[in-house]
């Protein structure tokens, strides 16, 4: 080990920063956040430090550095652009035993600053000893993404209950087990969801319980799995998927997303058959309740966003009635995912001021929609479940006044490697789609914004199929 890590208490202590520019300002940000009394030595201050001085946040010595400027400092930071000066500061500090940090010059430092992930009171410091700062920063980015942003609040909650837990469990081993269960369980999730008081109530109840076994009631997370590309999951979705005991998933949850669930979790497919829609939904609701009552941590994984054509509202309604703790995690909905990956902005200053999400699902063979409202110009319509009713949909929009040459696209398996985009107009799209084998799921986008696809497409553009091409050519290109 070349450097020994320590955490330094700077609260109320003097930190002298030499330099008044942007680099110095970054350093000042950090030490000020740690509560230091900051003294900046520099003939002039850049914009940011000048603003801090005006706000009374720093002391400024407005001249060139002199040797006595290091006196009384708990830490000196050299952050000017004068290398000769830096060397002199370093020598001086080291002679007096004052810790010194020189930016971008490890050999002159007696202390180096790590890359940091701040989840106060939890802090993670990463260092490559100055040899590979880019690697340290990458590691930092990875940790930023992986460690929940509420980790600090969780630590604060644990601190609040520490003495009580100590009094409740005599042995170190019992305490460790208790905390492990709490810090990975529903209490932690409540904290991450910003429901800190509920978390405290639940933790309190856990401490009072006579036996320290796993909780009697589990919980349910209704999680949006996004449109298919696993990179589009939220951090929270991923965390819950990796903690789950049981995962109930839909037809639309892609295989790569499912792969990311905890390996040992039981995974149940609960995709619906169209004919038994109602019965199955009731069964799913009952199953969620049964599993949670058995103490399981359940993830109900749904394609896209659970509250957009996902029946999420019905599922949590039942959970609420049954008194089961739950949370809802939003996901990237198909319209947003397909539009982004097809290079079709859903709104645009020149083309569309609004966007409507509608379902094209046929009730008794006819889509049950507000046609005059949908046919209005200068708006985009995104149609979920629109494939089987596509012809009726396009005809109705034209009948209600939308121009037959309004651009329209059908995005198949959006965001996935199999994505294909069929581009035509209200007049041509139905025939174009019939001429090819289209794989579900598909999303239809109607409106002038579709014309931007040609210019803005960026994801697997070779798989685009346009009206006017012979079907065989288009298919050959797509395969």
Cα gap 4→289, rounded to integer Å: 52
Least Å distance, CB 391 to ligand SAH, is 16
**Contact in structure between 103 and 23 (CB atoms under 8 Å):** yes
Q: How far is the CB of 148 from ligand SAH (least distance, A)?
A: 24
Is 399 catalytic? The answer is no
Smallest distance, ligand SAH to C-beta of residue 229, A: 8
Active site residue 250: yes
The one catalytic residue among 250, 296, 302, 305:
250
Nearer to ligand SAH, 94 or 392 (CB): 392
Answer yes or no: are the C-beta atoms of 93 and 74 closer than 8 Å: no
Q: Which is nearer to ligand SAH, 157 or 385 (CB)?
A: 385
Is the Cβ of residue 176 or residue 391 nearer to ligand SAH in the bound state?
Answer: 391
Beta carbon of residue 311, minimum distance to ligand SAH (angstroms, whole number): 9
Q: How many CB atoms lie within 10 A of CB 184?
A: 12
- Please report, as ranges, the residues that interact with ligand SAH according to CB under 6 A: 227-228, 252, 302-305, 308-310, 333-334, 338, 384-385, 411, 413-415, 441-443
Q: Do the Cβ atoms of 20 and 46 come closer than 8 Å? A: yes
Query: Is there a cis peptide before residue 478, judged by omega within 30 degrees of 0?
Result: no
Three-state DSSP class for residue 59: strand
Minimal distance, residue 307 CB to ligand SAH, in Å: 8
To ligand SAH, the closest distance from the beta carbon of 414 in angstroms equals 3
Closest residue by Cα to residue 478 from 412, 415, 429, 431:
412
* Residue nearest ligand SAH, Cβ-based: 304
Buried b (16+ CB within 10 A) or exposed e, 217-256: ebbbbbbbbbbbbbebbbebbbbbbebbbbbbbbebbbee
Would you say 191 or 444 has its CB closer to ligand SAH? 444
- Strand spans (E) along 26-180: 37-41, 59-61, 75-78, 100-102, 115-119, 122-126
Q: Quickly tell me which residue has 């995912």 as its tokens.
A: 337
Helix then strand then coil, % of the chain, to nearest 5: 40, 20, 40
Q: H or E stretch including 144?
A: helix 133-146
- 153/415 with CB nearer ligand SAH: 415
Which of 157/411 has CB closer to ligand SAH?
Answer: 411
Nearer to ligand SAH, 228 or 325 (CB): 228
Rounded Cα distance between 134 and 115, Å, is 10
Tell me which of 118, 245, 267, 272 is the catalytic residue: 272
Q: Which helix (H) or strand (E) holds 18?
A: strand 14-18
Instruction: Report, in Å, the least distance between residue 187 CB and ligand SAH.
Output: 29
Closer residue to ligand SAH, CB minimum distance, 89 or 237: 237
CA gap 353, 219 in Å, rounded: 41
3-state secondary structure at position 284: helix
363-to-154, 274, 385 alpha-carbon distances in Å: 48, 12, 12
Minimum CB–partner distance for residue 226 and ligand SAH (Å): 8
Q: Return the active site residues.
A: 250, 272
């Amino acid at each position: 080990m070349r450097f020994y890590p320590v955490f330094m208490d700077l609260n109320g202590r003097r930190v002298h920063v030499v330099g008044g520019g942007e680099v110095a300002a970054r350093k000042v940000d950090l030490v000020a956040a740690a509560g230091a009394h900051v003294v900046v030595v520099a003939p002039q201050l850049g914009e940011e430090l000048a603003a801090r001085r005006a706000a009374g946040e720093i002391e400024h010595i407005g001249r060139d550095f002199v040797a006595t400027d290091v006196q009384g400092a708990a830490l000196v930071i050299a952050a000017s652009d004068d290398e000769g000066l830096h060397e002199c500061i370093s020598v001086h500090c080291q002679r007096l035993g004052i810790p010194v940090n020189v930016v971008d010059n490890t050999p002159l430092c007696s202390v180096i600053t790590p890359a940091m992930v701040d989840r106060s009171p939890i802090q993670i410091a990463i260092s490559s000893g100055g040899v590979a700062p880019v690697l340290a920063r990458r590691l930092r980015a990875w940790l930023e993404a992986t460690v929940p942003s509420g980790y600090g609040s969780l630590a604060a909650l644990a601190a609040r209950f520490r003495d009580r837990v100590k009094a409740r469990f005599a042995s170190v081993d019992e305490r460790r087990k208790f905390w492990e269960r709490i810090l990975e369980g529903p209490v932690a999730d409540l904290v991450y969801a910003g429901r800190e008081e509920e978390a405290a109530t639940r933790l309190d109840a856990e401490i009072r319980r006579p036996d320290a076994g796993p909780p009697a009631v589990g919980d349910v997370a209704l999680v949006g799995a996004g449109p298919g590309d696993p990179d589009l999951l939220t951090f929270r979705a991923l965390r819950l998927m990796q903690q789950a005991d049981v995962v109930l998933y839909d037809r639309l949850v892609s295989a790569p997303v499912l792969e990311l669930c905890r390996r040992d979790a039981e995974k149940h497919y609960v995709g619906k058959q169209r004919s038994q829609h109602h019965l199955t939904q009731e069964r799913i609701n009952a199953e969620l309740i049964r599993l949670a009552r058995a103490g399981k941590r359940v993830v109900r994984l749904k394609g896209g966003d659970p509250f957009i054509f996902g029946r999420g509202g019905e599922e949590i309604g039942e959970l609420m009635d049954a008194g089961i703790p739950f949370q809802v995690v939003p996901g990237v909905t198909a319209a947003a995912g397909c539009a982004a990956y097809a290079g079709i902005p859903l709104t645009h200053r020149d083309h569309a001021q609004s966007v409507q999400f509608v379902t094209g699902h046929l009730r008794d063979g006819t889509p049950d929609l507000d046609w005059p409202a949908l046919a209005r110009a200068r708006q985009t319509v995104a149609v979920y479940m629109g494939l089987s009713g596509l012809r009726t949909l396009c005809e109705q929009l034209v009948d209600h006044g939308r121009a037959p040459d309004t651009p329209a696209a059908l995005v198949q398996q959006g965001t996935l490697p199999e994505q294909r985009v069929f581009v035509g107009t209200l007049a041509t799209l139905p025939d174009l789609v019939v001429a090819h084998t289209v794989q579900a799921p598909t999303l239809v986008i109607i409106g002038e914004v579709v014309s931007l696809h040609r210019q803005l497409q960026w994801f697997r553009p070779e798989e685009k199929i346009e009206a006017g091409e012979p079907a065989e050519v288009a298919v050959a290109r797509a395969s």
